Structure 1
Amino acid sequence: MSKISFALALSVATIASGFFLAACENTTTTNNTATNTASPVADSTTANAKGLKIGSLLPTTGDLASIGQQMVGSVPLLVETVNACGGVNGEPVTLVQVDDQTDPKAGAAGMTKLATLDKVAGVVGSFASSVSTAAISVAVPNKVMLISPGSTSPIFTEKAQKGDFKSFWARTAPPDTYQALALAQLAKKKGFKRVSTVVINNDYGVGFEKAFVKTFEELGGTVINKDKPVRYDPKAQTFDTEATATFAGKPDAVLAVMYAETGSLFLKAAYQQGVTKGVKIMLTDGVKSDTFPEQVGKSSDGKYILSGAIGTVPGSSGKGLEALNKLWKEKKGGVPGEYAPQAWDAAALLVLAAQSAKENTGVGIASNIREVSAGTGTEVSDVCEGLKLLKEGKKINYQGASGDVDVDANGDVIGTYDVWTVEDNGKIKVIDKVSPQ
């Protein structure tokens, strides 16, 4: 969808014509193992009318496509698994998938479609914090439960504390207040005393920057561009000025909070200016994909520009991870990519909460998320086992693939972080773990 307006997303005439559907989404209706994209209007709105209907709002295109494409397979795999063991509340689960294009306008339009046309009870999404901000403004008034597998901005905690979300929000990745602490601790451990920051100018980047500055200073470090932070335009294509400003003052390290598409252009521009020599690059989850070092490119001597860079990403070490890895290998080959476990857990919480509520509504899901994720019931990591116990009237405490996913009153979870680096051959390798406690 090319920048379709939010108002147009609501147009009855547009929806009726089918143009809106064709332009903005990739719709998949999952009923047991059947998938059909040929007739999205009829299938997504009429199939399984009595059963639980959920959606996904994740980026398969745009600035976060390299990570979005790794996680998007989790939700249909979860739905297929659930339907194979009896579904939810006695009926199969239906899934409608939408590509949010890493764009807040497309995300708002997609969420509007899911809430008002498809009438889903819950949605897995989005990934970008800016897109989730747009989507949650649609989800709350429509009483749709939104669970993000990766929107980590601290802004969501602040808004939840104010009651803005009315319990229709949660996430299975911890907020950046924790990741910023993890990176600040890592920077101190590496002996960095003077650090500069550059961030993408959106909820994710600015929220991370503020949390890192606060934490790094508390640990005795100095952020040398604190008073003149570098925040780049997400739609920019050239970054020479921003690169010069970021590396001015010869910092020990630069914290770069960015997305892959624009981030690769920024780091390449900085290298071409010759300002990266002797400066350690610290990265975050927004760029951790196997393709990112290649996107940034190689130096004149054939070495990867990012060789030696270090970063953090929310880890996946939950009790259900081994089973997910095995299932993924059987169904798809290989192993789940970044945030795939968090997406799996988000979908699992939607179906478990609906079963706990004994109703397929957003209100029912929202009121039972904490009951199934952080309650006093039997610990289960298998979603089918959890559904079975809930059907028997018993309580559960879901232990996910990404972690314990104990959702608190603000919709947050606490996690551990993997420390990763870029090797000389351009491969990304996890080298350590850090727990921001």
Structure 2
Amino acid sequence: MIRSTRAGRGLAVAGAVALALTACSSGSSDTGDGEATGGGSGEPLRIGTILPVTGSLAQLGPPEIAGVDLAVKEINDAGGLFGADVEVEHTDSSDAENASVATGSAQQLISSGVSVVIGAASSSVTKNIVDDITGAGIVQVSPANTATDLSGYSDFYFRTAPPDTVQGDVLGNLIVGDGASNVGILVFNDSYGTSLRDVVEGVVTEAGGTVVYGTSGEEFDPTETNFATIVADAIAASPDAIAILSFTNQTPAIVRELVSQGWDMSKTYFVDGNLQNFGVEGDIGFPAGTLADAQGTLPGAYPSEEFQARMLEIDPDLKDYSYGPESYDATMLVALAAFKGGASDGETIQANMVAVSGADGGTDCTGWEECKALLEDGEDIAYQAVSGVGPFNEANDPSSAFIGIYQFGPENTYTFSRSEEGEVPQG
């Protein structure tokens, strides 16, 4: 079952309302002895999501929601869990500037009795709600949080996206590898932006370069709308590359200001918070060729054509797949943890998340049916994440992850270039 709501607004989440996830009949549902290694439970697994339908990360909402729904559909098509369909209730997170939306969504899901919350996408949003969620004994799994200070935040908090130590390292090395030694960073004063900036700055400095603009104290306000002075100050520092560390609501205005002040946009770098197919039309589009040869980074292995096709069956209107695989993995991991533990409550799921991810070894497996069959046979498993992340480490972060590198073409849309794999440091 999928219930799609926006807390306090009563509106359906776009792209997530057309599914009726029903378990297969004719005896396909497993019950009793074979249902779980821990003896089984009659309670259905209830998952809530707090993902961006509105706000500055709204472009991430459709693929994330589709990733959750795809995993749930595959589980339910195979007979569900504990003899019942996995249930999903979708809510909106919006962004940090509209914090009351996520707060209301969290309270709604807590009251609904979910065992798991998938979300939020924004690290700042998560920081506003994580104590309420985890304090209620609910497992929270973010498919997109990257702030470094969320590592090890709570025993009940996990993420299937790596902290910025990995993306920042790849981005910094990409910029330096392209020949830049004087780097400008246009960064907003948000934990996501400053966390990523600090890592990039460290990489650039260690390589013998200098961050000439955008160091501590030179951030812009997340509500800023006029970037003329900010861009002028950055260009006046004579950078040979500029990274834009912001969300999508600021980025089009920043790009237009850079262009108007004569910046060579091929020397511009984007990140996951603002990497999107801008195109040549509409409010976010630019004249053809504006972003040609600009680059960007995005956590996660590039999804296969087969997985993209599966996601498109859930939402045919998807324009990209950012964090869709991570959302799928988060959902699969919590369902497998419940199955391994024999119950659908938050404490059981929390206790088994690390094990099913393969942190302690086990047989490699892909997808619900293969992994479930191994658990039924009493084997330990190592779930092979679609997003390419490694098993959870002691901080409940992925132990390793891929970062995709993308390049913009003449139509201001990006294509996959290559991936870099990095280990996630602990401590």
TM-score by length of 2: 0.85
Q: Give the structure 2 partner of residue 110 of structure 1.
A: 105
Distance 1:359 1:125 in 2: 22
Please say if residues 277 and 414 of structure 2, whose CA atoms lie closer than 8 Å, have aligned partners that are also in contact.
yes
- Which shifted more, 231-240 or 146-155? 231-240
Structure 1 position 314, deviation (Å): 1.3
Aligned to 1:65: 58
Structure 2 CA distance for aligned equivalents of residues 29 and 50 of structure 1: 25
3-state SS of the aligned residue for 1:415? strand
After alignment, is 373-382 or 327-336 more displaced? 327-336
8 Å Cα contact 1:254-1:279 kept in structure 2: no
2:221 is matched with: 233
Among 248, 252, 258, the alignment partner of 1:270 is: 258
Match of 1:74 in 2: 67
Q: Amino acid of the residue matched to residue 145 of structure 1?
A: V
Contact 2:276 2:413 in 1 (8 A): no
Equivalent-residue separation in structure 2 for 1:21 and 1:33 (angstroms): 28
Letter in 2 for 1:97: H
Partner-residue secondary structure (3-state), 2:232: helix
- Maintained 8 Å contact 2:336/2:356: yes
Tell me the SS of whatever aligns to 1:150: coil
Going from structure 1 to structure 2, the CA distance change for 1:20 and 1:169 (only over 3 Å counts) comes to closer
Q: How does 1:275-294 map to 2 (within 5 A)?
A: 275-277=262-264, 280-291=267-278
Aligned equivalent of 2:342, options 355, 358, 378: 358
Which shows bigger deviation, 308-317 or 255-264?
A: 308-317
The Cα shift of 1:221 comes to 1.3
Shift of 1:254: 0.8
Equivalent position of 2:170 in the other structure: 182
Distance 1:424 1:123, change over 3 A: same
> Which residue, out of 183, 208, 217, partners 1:220?
208
Counterpart contact for 2:193–2:246, Cα < 8 Å? yes
- How far apart in 2 are the matches of 1:130 and 1:244? 28
- Paired position in structure 1 for 2:391: 406
Q: Distance in 2 between matches of 1:332 and 1:69?
A: 8
Change (3 A) 1:228 1:376: closer
2:32 match: none
Among candidates 290, 308, 311, match of residue 296 of structure 2? 311
Q: CA deviation at 1:404?
A: 4.1
Over 3 Å counting, the alpha-carbon distance change for 1:20 and 1:177 in structure 2 is closer
Query: What are the superposed Cα offsets for residues 29-71 of structure 1, whole Å, 9 maximum, x if unpaired?
Result: 976349xxxxxxxxxxxxx992110111110111111222232
- Once the 2 structures are TM-superposed, how far is the Cα of residue 385 of structure 1 from its aligned partner? 1.9
Query: Is the 8 Å Cα contact of residues 296 and 306 (structure 1) preserved in structure 2?
Result: no
Provide the C-alpha distance between the structure 2 equivalents of 1:337 and 1:227, rounded to a whole number of angstroms: 32
Is the deviation greater in 322-331 or in 182-191? 322-331
8 Å CA contact 1:67, 1:289 repeated in 2: no
1:100 aligned to which of 80, 90, 93? 93
Measured at CA, do residues 390 and 91 of structure 1 come closer, stay the same or move farther in structure 2, by a change above 3 Å? farther
| Contact map agreement 1:252 1:279 (CA 8 A) in 2 | no
Is residue 28–residue 96 contact of structure 1 (8 Å, CA) maintained in 2?
no
Distance 2:403 2:139 in 1: 26
Of 396, 399, 411, the residue aligned with 1:425 is 411
Q: Say whether the 8 Å CA contact 2:182–2:212 is kept in structure 1.
A: yes
**Aligned residues, how many?**
394
Pair 1:191–1:23, CA change in 2 (3 A): same
Q: Give the letter aligned to residue 56 of structure 1.
A: T
Matching of residues 14-53 of structure 1 within 5 Å: 21-23=8-10, 26=13, 32-33=21-22, 50-53=43-46
SS of 1:123 mapped into structure 2 = strand
2:120 corresponds in structure 1 to 126
Partner of 1:40: none
Secondary structure of 1:311's aligned partner: strand
Assess if the C-alpha contact under 8 Å between 2:146 and 2:164 holds in 1.
Answer: yes
CA contact under 8 A between 2:182 and 2:239: conserved in structure 1?
Answer: yes
Q: For the residues of structure 1 that align with 2:186 and 2:239, how far apart are their CA atoms?
A: 12
Please give the alpha-carbon distance, in whole angstroms, between the structure 1 residues aligned to 2:82 and 2:379. Answer: 14
Cα offset for 1:237? Answer: 2.3
CA distance in 2, matches of 1:205, 1:270: 19
Q: Deviations over 1:321-349 (max 9, x none)?
A: 56533433445448761111111001111
In the superposition, relative to structure 1, how do residues 71 and 292 fare at CA in structure 2: closer, same or farther (>3 Å)?
farther
Q: Secondary structure at the match of 1:170?
A: strand
Higher relative contact order (CA 8 A, sep 6+): 2
**Separation in 2, partners of 1:394, 1:87:** 20
Q: Quote the sequence identity (%).
A: 25
Partner of 2:29: none
How far has the Cα of 1:435 moved from its partner? 2.8
What is the CA–CA distance in structure 1 between the aligned matches of 2:161 and 2:69, rounded to whole Å? 19
Change (3 A) 1:293 1:205: farther
Cα distance between partner residues in 1 of 2:279 and 2:123: 20
Partner Cα distance (2:418, 2:210) in 1: 24
Query: Residues 338-369 of structure 1: CA distance to partner in whole angstroms, max 9, x if unpaired?
Result: 11111100111111111111111111111111
* Cα distance in 2 between the residues matched to 1:282 and 1:317: 19
Q: Which runs of 5+ in 1 are unaligned?
A: 1-17, 35-47
Q: What is the letter of the counterpart of residue 388 of structure 1?
A: A
Asked whether 1:340 is paired with 2:327, we answer no
Residue matched to 2:135 = 141
Which letter does structure 1 place at the counterpart of 2:204?
A: F
Aligned mates of 1:19, 1:276 — CA distance in 2 = 40
Report whether the alignment pairs 1:378 with 2:355: no
Q: 1:430 to 1:30 in 2, by over 3 A?
A: closer
Whether the aligned pair in 2 keeps the contact of 1:420 and 1:430 (CA below 8 Å) is: yes
Q: CA deviation at 1:108?
A: 2.2
Residue range with higher mean Cα deviation, 390-399 or 79-88: 390-399
Structure 1 293/403 Cα, relative in aligned 2: closer, same or farther at 3 Å? farther
Contact 1:56 1:97 in 2 (8 A): yes
* Higher helix proportion (structure 1 or 2): 1
- Looking at structure 1, the residues matched to 150 and 317 of structure 2 have their Cα atoms a distance apart, in angstroms, of 33
Give the C-alpha shift of residue 429 in structure 1.
1.4
Aligned partners of 2:175, 2:211: CA distance in 1, in Å? Answer: 11
d(CA) in 2 for partners of 1:28, 1:393: 37
